Amino acid sequence: MQARRTVSKVPEVTPGFWIIKILATTLGETGGDAVSMSMQLGYLLSTGIFALVFVVAVTLQIRATRFHPLLYWTTIIATTTVGTTLADFADRSLGIGYAGGASLLLAMLLASLFAWYRTLGSIAVDSIGSPGSEAFYWATIMFSQTLGTALGDWTADSMGLGYMGAALVFGALIAFAAMAYAWTRVSHTLLFWVAFVLTRPLGAVVGDLLDKPVSHGGLALDRFSASAVLLGLILLCIAYTHRRQGRLPPNRH
Per-residue pLDDT of the chain (253 residues; tens, 9 = 90+): 333 344 457 788 889 999 999 999 999 889 888 888 888 888 778 888 888 999 999 999 999 888 889 999 999 999 888 877 777 676 666 666 677 778 888 898 999 999 999 999 889 887 777 888 899 999 999 888 888 888 888 888 878 899 999 999 999 999 999 999 999 999 999 999 999 999 999 998 999 899 888 888 888 889 999 999 999 999 999 998 877 765 444 444 4
Domain segments of the chain as ranges? 2-247
pLDDT at 4: 39
CA distance 30 to 209: 10
Instruction: Map residue 21 onto helix, strand or coil.
Output: helix
pLDDT at 251: 47
pLDDT at 169: 95
Distance of CA 106 to the CA centre of its chain: 14
CA distance 238 to 135: 23
pLDDT at 6: 43
Write the DSSP string, 158-213.
Answer: IT--HHHHHHHHHHHHHHHHHHHHHHS-S-HHHHHHHHHHHHHHHHHHHHHHHHS-
pLDDT at 45: 86
